[in-house]
Amino acid sequence: APPPPKAACAAATDAFYAAFLTREPPSPAHRAYRPPGDRGFNPRLYGAMWGPTEFSATGTLKTYDGEPLLDRLDGRRTLFMVGQYDEARPVTAERFARRVAGAELAVVPGAGHATFTDRPEETVTVLRQWLRRQDRIVRST
């Protein structure tokens, strides 16, 4: 079968991003945080690593498997954080967290992959709580 027309692929990618990547427009505070001259997303780098579409990896990461590295993590200092609607599915992050003894999993309600854009306050709250627990661990050792 011939590949889909570029417009159809672009529309599918946009729909995917709206559902699973960035579900909300950046807040004024988020936009103001960007340093002057920051070009943000680098499509050449992303294309080389993943490929031209979200739906099929063709870049250098196509065969990458980082799962064996989970065994090397110190779970007391590991937080897996995803959005409720994240393209990195919460069920997958939960499976990874279970493999790392002592690791924590946080799912940011209402967020896609861009938790800081979609739910900045909730994301910062999750991180602050986790960091406070880390401080307690360091002080008790």
pLDDT surpassing 80 at residue 4: no
Asked if residue 5 has pLDDT above 90, the reply is no
**Which class is domain 6-33+65-140?**
alpha beta
| pLDDT tens digits for range 19-73 | 999 999 888 877 777 777 777 788 899 999 999 888 889 999 999 999 999 999 9
Confidence (pLDDT) at 141: 67
In sequence order, the β-bridge partners of residue 81 are: 106
Give 126-141 pLDDT, tens digit per residue: 999 999 999 887 777 6
Residue pair 134/109 in contact by the 8 Å Cβ criterion: no
Q: Nearest to residue 111, comparing CAs of 21, 8, 9?
A: 21
Distance, CA of 81 to CA of 59 (rounded, Å): 25
